[in-house]
Amino acid sequence: MTLAQRKRELVATELTETALQLFAHEGFEAVTVDEIATAAGVSKRTFFRYFASKEDVVVQFLAGMGTDMRTELAARPAGEPPSAALLHAVSVPLAACGDHAERVLPVVRLILRTPALLARFLEHEAGWREELAGELAVRLGLDPADSLYPRLAAGMALTAFDTVLRRWSEDAGDAAGAGAGDADPLVLIVRAFTQLAPALDAE
């Protein structure tokens, strides 16, 4: 990576972190591009060299989740049951959420509670479903155009992911919760897949 590329990556990271923290503390609608740029120590013009809008900052955060899931699914052992492979795939972003809860949880809550951002999140989930279905079809030697199974399996896995993400965002940090395990996204996703595994592996 060249010096210019490293600098660009650092600026993009700083803008993203600054924007997400502002959104989490002040609300998405209340924060302007000017405020993000000022807080990050750059000009408004610089912001627009990296992002087309403030929504795009969140979209970039979401895009990484899908990439991580597909990469993990592709790397799983060929003979692994679909339920295990998909569990490992959707666990990657959930593990990152749990490991960095203090930073990520406010952003996840923001996305789920802001209609415009939730719509973008659901758009991304639809894309992830197609990507996971395609990868799963390759693993199983199926034609994704003729087989229902890859899309159904990917849809089930992402429904579990979505349910766990929402449950985690509601329970994490809640003193009235049932216990620390109930707010751990990895514990929750394993529970979900315990129920899904018989159907996923019955293909």
Q: Which two tokens stand for residue 103?
A: 């930073």
202 — pLDDT class (breaks 50, 70, 90): confident
The pLDDT value given to residue 145: 79
Contact predicate 120/58, CB 8 Å: yes
Contact predicate 94/159, CB 8 Å: no
Q: Which two tokens stand for residue 81?
A: 């049951």
Interacting residues of 6 by C-beta distance below 8 A, sequence separation 6+: none
CA angle 199, 92, 51 (to 5 degrees): 120
Average pLDDT (5-25) is 88
The pLDDT value given to residue 163: 95
Q: pTM of the full predicted structure? A: 0.82
pLDDT tens, residue by residue, 138-169:
999 998 778 899 999 999 999 999 999 999 98
The pLDDT value given to residue 116: 85
Which parts of the chain fold into alpha helices (H)? Answer: 3-26, 33-40, 44-50, 54-75, 82-99, 101-113, 115-140, 149-171, 185-200
Which residue, 55, 173, 148, is CA-closest to 110? Answer: 55
> Phi/psi at 15 (nearest 5 deg)?
-60, -45
Distance between CA 169 and CA 109 in Å, rounded?
6
First to last CA, the chain: 44
**Averaged confidence pLDDT in the chain:** 88
The pLDDT value given to residue 203: 62
Average pLDDT (103-112) is 85
Q: Does residue 64 have a pLDDT over 90?
A: no
Which stretch, 1-10, 72-81, 99-108, has highest mean pLDDT?
Answer: 72-81
65 or 135, higher pLDDT? 135
The pLDDT value given to residue 181: 46
Query: How far is residue 138 CA from its own chain's centroid?
Result: 23
Contact predicate 174/185, CB 8 Å: no
63 — pLDDT class (breaks 50, 70, 90): confident
Q: Does residue 119 have a pLDDT over 50?
A: yes
The pLDDT value given to residue 61: 75
Q: Does residue 180 have a pLDDT over 80?
A: no
Q: Does residue 100 have a pLDDT over 70?
A: yes
Residue with tokens 């989490």: 24
Q: Does residue 83 have a pLDDT over 60?
A: yes
Contact predicate 171/177, CB 8 Å: yes
